[in-house]
Amino acid sequence: SQQGEEDPQALSIQEGENATMNCSYKTSINNLQWYRQNSGRGLVHLILIRSNEREKHSGRLRVTLDTSKKSSSLLITASRAADTASYFCATDQAGTALIFGKGTTLSVSS
């Protein structure tokens, strides 16, 4: 079954640095979405990239998608302490059930 798997599992950086998280999946997809989750809280939608798109930007976020490699990356530029959270990719084939990865835990220290 299709599955998003993020790496690294954990990432620690200093404020101002860029953070890059990667996601791989197994089968063809329609869309890939990235979510953020602060500890014990809900999932916040960050960005959606469609299978026919290669790159998308939203503020300090940049997402790329390589369907030939079945992978995506999320780049957070100029990170802030408030970016500390877990980040998940989620894929879908037909705009229905999302399949989530295990997530990357990002820690940004000031």
Partner 1 sequence: EPEVTQTPSHQVTQMGQEVILRCVPISNHLYFYWYRQILGQKVEFLVSFYNNEISEKSEIFDDQFSVERPDGSNFTLKIRSTKLEDSAMYFCASQGQAGSSYEQYFGPGTRLTVT
Q: Which residues bind partner 1 (CB under 8 A)?
A: 30-31, 33, 35, 40-45, 48, 88, 90, 92, 95-103
Rounded to a whole number of angstroms, the minimum distance from the CB of residue 1 to partner 1 is 10
- Name the β-bridge partners of 22: 7, 73
Rounded to a whole number of angstroms, the minimum distance from the CB of residue 22 to partner 1 is 16
Residues ≥6 apart with Cβ < 8 Å to 41: none
- Of 82 and 94, which has the nearer Cβ to partner 1? 94
Rounded to a whole number of angstroms, the minimum distance from the CB of residue 108 to partner 1 is 21
Q: One-letter amino acid identity for 99? A: I
Listing DSSP states for 41-89 in one string gives: S-EEEEEEEETT-SEEEETTEEEEEETTTTEEEEEE-S--GGG-EEEEE
- Of 46 and 108, which has the nearer Cβ to partner 1? 46
